[in-house]
């Protein structure tokens, strides 16, 4: 039973077909999926799906770093209210992204810090988006008192080692299957199996052999194939350990 720990099932692109995508997932033996919501509408949709399929769905909600200039105090208050309600399972994806735009670093940092504080208060794990911002991200994460998921990890090996010193899990997505990606496979090999997660980040980042197509939760199986191959372990062992790692986030809460 495979786990997709990060997909945007309720974004406009996927939401219209979500029933079909969940069916495809089940056929591919993917029966635990965390939906990532980046706005209120996606969040309310995700809660509805979770209500329908409580055993198969987890919900994460957080304000994305790229939106830092738009997010108001009212938005933060809403997130805090929902975090404290425990209707959501994880707070995220949150973090820093200097790849797309470096012009509002301070706003990104302030938003990230405010959300770490909400997660601490609500005792919720956090999902981290970190792109070309490793040093600043790790620095702010020292404030976190709850477990951390490094989503679609793409940093260097030294950064991964720093990340592993925290109470964290490292999640890998489709790019580890790409021919020209050397760093991803190196990181998978170096990441202890009991600290590792699988994800799609659908609709983005489809793994080989679906690269270039719209991604969906069912395709996490190809990423797990690659992880098993890199680890030299039977797929079933990897699948079971990933499930255990992911569920461990919720046991302590």
Q: Which residues make up the interface to Ni ion (CB under 5 A)?
A: 36, 201
- Minimum Å gap between C-beta 70 and Ni ion is 18
At CA 6, angle to CA 31 and CA 209, rounded to 5?
80
Distance of closest approach, residue 47 Cβ to Ni ion, in angstroms? 18
Within a 13 Å sphere around the CA of 132, how many CA atoms are in the beta-carbon half?
A: 8
Task: For residue 72, count CB atoms less than 10 angstroms from its CB and return exposed for 0-12, middle for 13-18, buried for 19 or more.
Answer: exposed
The least distance separating Ni ion from the CB of residue 153, rounded to whole angstroms, comes to: 12
- Locate the DSSP E strands across the chain: 2-7, 30-37, 57-61, 90-97, 126-131, 148-150, 168-172, 196-198
Instruction: Round to whole Å and give the CA distance between 215 and 27.
Output: 16
**Residue number, 204 or 228, with CB nearest to Ni ion:** 204
CA distances from 112 to 5, 71, 77, 117, 177 (A): 21, 11, 14, 9, 30
CB of 233 to Ni ion, least distance (A): 27
CB of 8: closest distance to Ni ion in angstroms? 6
Which CB atom, from 13 or from 189, has the smaller least distance to Ni ion?
13
- Of the pair 36, 160, the CB lying nearest Ni ion is at 36
Q: Which is nearer to Ni ion, 134 or 194 (CB)?
A: 134
Q: How near is the Cβ of 209 to Ni ion at its closest, in Å?
A: 22
Cβ proximity to Ni ion: between 194 and 196 the closer is: 196
- Cβ closer to Ni ion: 89 or 201? 201
Q: List, in sequence order, every residue forming a beta bridge with 59; answer none if it has no partner.
A: 35
DSSP 86-154: T-SSEEEEEEEETTT--TTHHHHHHHHHHHHHHHHHHT--EEEEEES-HHHHHHHHTT--S-EEETT--
Tokens 């790229």 belong to which residue? 66
- The least CB distance from residue 210 to Ni ion, in Å, is 17
Q: Which residue is nearest to Ni ion (CB)?
A: 201
Beta strands 168-172 and 57-61: pairing type? unpaired
Please say which residue, 36 or 47, places its beta carbon nearer to Ni ion: 36
């Amino acid at each position: 039973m495979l786990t997709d720990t990060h997909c945007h099932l309720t974004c406009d692109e996927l939401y219209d077909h979500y029933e079909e995508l969940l069916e495809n997932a089940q056929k591919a033996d993917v029966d635990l999926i965390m939906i990532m919501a980046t706005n209120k509408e996606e969040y309310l949709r995700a809660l509805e799906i979770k209500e329908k399929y409580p055993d198969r769905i987890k919900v994460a909600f957080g304000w994305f770093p790229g939106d830092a200039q738009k997010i108001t105090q009212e938005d933060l208050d809403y997130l805090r209210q929902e975090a404290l309600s425990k209707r959501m399972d994880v707070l995220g994806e949150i973090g820093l992204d200097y790849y797309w735009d470096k012009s509002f670093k301070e706003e990104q940092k302030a938003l990230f810090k405010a959300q770490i504080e909400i997660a601490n208060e609500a005792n919720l794990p956090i999902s981290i988006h970190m792109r070309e911002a490793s040093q600043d991200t790790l620095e702010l994460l020292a404030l976190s008192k709850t477990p951390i998921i490094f989503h679609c990890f793409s940093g260097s090996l030294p950064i991964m080692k720093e990340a592993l010193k925290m109470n964290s899990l490292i999640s890998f997505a489709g790019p580890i299957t790409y021919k020209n990606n050397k760093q991803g496979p190196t990181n998978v090999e170096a990441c202890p199996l009991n600290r590792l997660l699988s994800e799609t980040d659908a609709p983005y980042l489809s793994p080989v052999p679906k690269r270039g197509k719209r991604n969906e939760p069912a395709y996490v199986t190809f990423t797990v194939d690659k992880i098993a191959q890199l680890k030299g372990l039977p797929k079933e062992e990897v699948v079971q350990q990933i499930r255990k790692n992911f569920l461990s986030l919720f046991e302590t809460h």
